[in-house]
Structure 1
């Protein structure tokens, strides 16, 4: 993950409330054992018809929105199952931020831990942004300032809330593992102290495995 505090670019409006992770990443794209190729599955049933032909009226199939780094979504975006693939797929598709008035809780955690910025604005600001997108003769341009927690467009600026941890992770380019490793010295100190206080539990699993391997085979 790269360090960043600004996300800006054109916005793809997707005014669908309760857009769940099954729609964002359908189940047939979860068969692989790695993250490769998940961009093909993003919003597949909205992007393609039953014969696999692109739906020309869908926003992300329109040339002017094809490379949009920001999605303007409806309330409760990302509800449903906990599949992290929905986040990975959106990132592979080129999406860097989603703006909505609310998000599914698990999706929110998955996104923020992977560096996909979720911007929670008020219902009033969301309606204003959708109205601007609908009336604009060209794709709307938005600037998300993570450091100052502001979303700016031609019609105004909206504030959004973000925890200090998630804000710092994004600005420093850290995923959850990287953020945890910042506390490595404290983690090691705790482990050493815990092992000193509970020596009989040190390497318990490996000790048990050795003892089991030494047992005679059953007749």
Structure 2
């Protein structure tokens, strides 16, 4: 998993509330267990017509937002089913951070496990960042995980809270496998001790 330290990028404004996981990645794309390749189908039913043509008015199809790395969203982002493909699709598209007033719990947890930083902010702060994001590709937002701040393109800085353990994992690029591998020497020692004490096991 890639480390998350500081991110300065284009923020796409998505003021819709209750953006669910089926909107993020529709069910027909859940057959794969590969984490790569899903970015092209992110928000598929909102981005494309039934015959596969781009819908020009959708935010990620607009030229200024095609390389967005941040989404500023309405309330209750990631609700619906628990599919881990939702953060996979976001990450594969290039999204590393989502800012909202609230997230569905399972989606929120899955983001951390996949290197995406979900940030909960008060409505008044999200409103400021949403307005900033609407200015397009020249309005770049900076997210600093170390200092736990989000800075708008005009220099307004806002603090956010994050669980210290999750912060540690993101800063060091540790998913569940990475956390286990940190203990590999202890695991090896235990297995050697077990083999000596119970050679029949």
Instruction: Provide the TM-score with structure 2 as the length reference.
Output: 0.88
Between Structure 1 and Structure 2, the one with more helix by share is 1
**Structure-1 residue corresponding to 2:133:** 133
Pair 164,190 (structure 1): closer, same or farther in 2 beyond 3 Å: farther
Alpha-carbon separation, structure 2, partners of 1:96 and 1:181: 24
**Structure-2 residue corresponding to 1:175:** 175
Alpha-carbon separation, structure 2, partners of 1:130 and 1:179: 35
Alpha-carbon separation, structure 1, partners of 2:142 and 2:101: 17
**Structure-1 residue corresponding to 2:146:** 147
Q: How far does residue 35 in structure 1 lie from its aligned partner after superposition?
A: 2.8
Alpha-carbon separation, structure 2, partners of 1:113 and 1:61: 27
Max Rg structure: 1
For structure 1, the 5+ residue unaligned runs are: 204-219
Alpha-carbon separation, structure 2, partners of 1:106 and 1:195: 39
Alpha-carbon separation, structure 2, partners of 1:122 and 1:196: 57
- Root mean square deviation of aligned Cα: 2.3
Alpha-carbon separation, structure 2, partners of 1:27 and 1:48: 15
Alpha-carbon separation, structure 1, partners of 2:33 and 2:65: 30
**Structure-1 residue corresponding to 2:2:** 2
1:19-68 CA-partner distances (Å, limit 9, x unpaired): 01011010111122423421122000110123322110111001111011
Q: Is the 8 A contact 2:64 2:136 kept in 1?
A: no
Pair 133,3 (structure 1): closer, same or farther in 2 beyond 3 Å: closer
Instruction: Provide the TM-score with structure 1 as the length reference.
Output: 0.81
For structure 2, the 5+ residue unaligned runs are: none
Alpha-carbon separation, structure 2, partners of 1:148 and 1:187: 34
**Structure-1 residue corresponding to 2:106:** 106
The count of aligned residue pairs is 199
